[in-house]
Structure 1
């Protein structure tokens, strides 16, 4: 993935980036919700298994995605206030 500085992007590019990161965040949130439901079901049916703890590995990744989305939003807001 190509990383670019947010300060190098125009406002339109920042809005596109925010939309992209927002959709990624929503997708990961849905995936984690599904995994939590599956892990609860698997724990009730089969006891503690790898599937039971799998969501714990993805929650921090979703947090970083949410944080990067907030950084883009802050950059847009700072540009609007100037």
Structure 2
């Protein structure tokens, strides 16, 4: 993945980046929601297992994806206000 500064991107590139990061964010939401469901099912059926802790390992990645999306949105809003 290419590391580019958001300030170096044009407004059109920022909108494309926002759309891409929004898709990643939604994917993480669905993934974590699914894992929470599996965790609840595992706790009810089999008691406390490793699957019960699985969503906790993905929360840091989710927060990174959320922050990344938020940064792009902030950059777009700052450019629109100028």
| Range of TM-score over shorter length | over 0.9
1:70 is aligned to 2:70: yes
> Gaps (5+ residues) in structure 1?
none
Q: How far apart are the structure 1 equivalents of 2:3 and 2:51?
A: 33
CA apart distance, 1:59:
1.2
Cα deviation 1:56-75 (Å, max 9, x = unaligned): 01112111110110100000
Matching of residue 33 in structure 1 with residue 48 in structure 2: no
Aligned to 2:8: 8
So what's the TM-score if we normalise by structure 1?
0.97
Q: How much does 1:2 deviate? A: 1.1
Aligned partner of residue 54 in structure 1, secondary structure = helix
Unaligned runs of 5+ in 2: none
The runs of at least 4 aligned residues of structure 1 exceeding 6 Å deviation read none
**Which residue of structure 2 lines up, in the alignment, with residue 58 of structure 1?**
58
